[in-house]
Amino acid sequence: MLGDNNSFFEQVLFESTGSQLGVEEVQLKTGGCINNAVQLKTAGGSFFLKWNEAVEEEMFAAEARGLQLLRSNGSFRIPEVLGMGKVSGKSYLLLEYIDSRHPAGNYWEELGRSLARMHTATSGQYGLDHANFIGRLPQNNEQSNSWIDFFRDSRLQVQLGLALYNKRVDEAFARRFKSLYPRLSELLTEEPPALLHGDLWSGNVMVDEQGQPSLIDPAVFYGHREAELAFTELFGGFDERFYNAYQEAKPLEPGYEERKDIYNLYPLMVHVNLFGTSYLSGVERTLNRYL
């Protein structure tokens, strides 16, 4: 089946690099929940290619912009964007191939320190100057001067509205969920906007050729860094050395442990909308705790 795509692969390589590169070997890779992904081995080196016939170019365009923003920040190894577009009805994104190896002995500490460095990058407002995606869902980044307003309106309310529209939740649930909104100003803190990866879980962190962390598949925006740290804890968490190194480099305000479950309402509602109502139990636990 992959061999049937050779002409597509070679056309993508030509459009992206300007060189006629014959594909010598193709290896299947993980491309997230919706995309096809392969490593293309050529005489000119290896490339990582993602493509999809069912999505528009704007999804890969947003991913490319996010990768470029993180790459320009310089805190992490980020794969270089080599090409993006549409060939034979297939939207694609061509990236530098990172040959993943075993983590170095200081991997977790370096991940924590690098994330702390990235979080020192700031902006005048929360959000971003363009919308992007989290998974296959559009992510609204309309800018705001208030973190709490941004988190309520562009994160929680958007996902609640989508779940209600798709009948994943009912009106009674929506009323209960929204009853948390007036409490956000007393439960959460304000902090200068920080550059966030936006979808930071173990599946979006790679180990590069030197055994050091590399980030992929971002959903970037400027937000409260506690939301990023909370996200890392949602699906099992990272090694304790990561959290210790982060805290040493850029300590969190007291009370983070009391706030993190509120931040994780956003990724949980994203998962409700992407994968179904089984994730509502986590949302209910948080609502029961704070209401």
Token duo for residue 284: 């209910």
Residue with tokens 């020192």: 120
Token duo for residue 160: 């609640």
Given a contact cutoff of 8 angstroms between Cβ atoms, the answer to whether 230 and 260 are in contact is yes
199 assigned to active site: yes
What do you get for the CA distance between the two ends of the chain, in Å? 53
Q: How far apart are CA 144 and CA 243, in angstroms?
A: 29
Token duo for residue 110: 């370096």
Given a contact cutoff of 8 angstroms between Cβ atoms, the answer to whether 41 and 178 are in contact is no
Token duo for residue 128: 């971003």
Token duo for residue 62: 């947003």
Token duo for residue 276: 């179904």
Token duo for residue 267: 């990724």
Check 99, 153, 199, 208 and give the catalytic one.
199
CA 255 to chain centroid: 25
Q: How far apart are CA 223 and CA 231, in angstroms?
A: 13
Query: Of 133, 158, 163, whose CA–CA distance to 144 is shortest?
Result: 158
Name the β-bridge partners of 26: 40
Q: How far apart are CA 268 and CA 231, in angstroms?
A: 10
Q: How far apart are CA 291 and CA 286, in angstroms?
A: 8
Q: How far apart are CA 225 and CA 252, in angstroms?
A: 9
- Looking at the annotation, which residues are catalytic? 199
